[in-house]
Chain A
């Protein structure tokens, strides 16, 4: 399934969420995996939209879902600034909550929600590929 996300169109996140639910239903993705997938996608889109672009024009983000051998693959391609979240340092979870930095939580949640991530910069495009095993 492919989804084109318009950054300046109201209701796009809800439309994507429904598309994800439809895909999950059609492919019989167990419900217990859905929250992690939903979370990773939401956090990544938020990062792209919040930090990726130098202007408020409408930008397109392409999202492609596929499943092979019970592994879900989500490829998210955007034309924002280069951003390799794999190079982003992990927050130190041993620091008490009172003193811990509040930033960087979204990237941490993506990394912890998915089983594997791969990043590529091709020309002016970022592609983050996220993999989630759909078995225990």
Chain B
């Protein structure tokens, strides 16, 4: 799995490519934590190139979605691939965590 970043002072976009499996989820968590530490007011996790999303990845997204929301900030998933969208849909988190078009 690879993560590319687009960073502005207030917004961080993480472009995730490949399989978000258990190891990928750990890597994603570290990148999200880096963004939060850097003071991002918004973190966008672009899953358009994610070929797989497991429950560990969803747990990471959900954990920091909640944390950011509680801090009046936001973390959202953008442009999910069919595989990532199916996983979010299965767990019932799609409507909460997906950026509205």
Contact check, B55 vs A43: say whether CB atoms are below 8 A apart.
yes
> For the complex, would chain B's binding face be called helix, strand, loop or mixed by DSSP majority?
helix
Interface residues of A in 88-136 (CB under 8 A from B): 93, 96-98, 100, 102, 105-106, 108-109, 112-113
Whether, in the assembled complex, B44 has its beta carbon less than 8 Å from a beta carbon of chain A, the answer is no
User: Which residue on A lies nearest to B51, using beta carbons?
Assistant: A35
Question: What 1/0 mask marks residues of chain B from 72 to 99 whose CB sits below 8 Å from any chain A CB?
Answer: 0000000000110011001111001100
| Distance A17 CA – B63 CA, assembled complex (angstroms) | 27
| Distance A36 CA – B89 CA, assembled complex (angstroms) | 12
Instruction: Please count how many residues in chain B sit with their CB below 8 Å of the partner chain's CB atoms.
Output: 24
Whether, in the assembled complex, B21 has its beta carbon less than 8 Å from a beta carbon of chain A, the answer is yes
Whether, in the assembled complex, B54 has its beta carbon less than 8 Å from a beta carbon of chain A, the answer is yes
Contact check, A46 vs B90: say whether CB atoms are below 8 A apart.
no
Shortest C-beta distance, A4 to chain B (Å), equals 20
Contact check, A105 vs B59: say whether CB atoms are below 8 A apart.
yes
Whether, in the assembled complex, A13 has its beta carbon less than 8 Å from a beta carbon of chain B, the answer is yes
Contact check, A112 vs B56: say whether CB atoms are below 8 A apart.
no
Interface residues of B in 12-69 (CB under 8 A from A): 19, 21-22, 52, 54-56, 58-59, 62-63, 65-66, 69
Which residues in B have some Cβ–Cβ distance to A below 8 Å? 19, 21-22, 52, 54-56, 58-59, 62-63, 65-66, 69, 82-83, 86-87, 90-93, 96-97
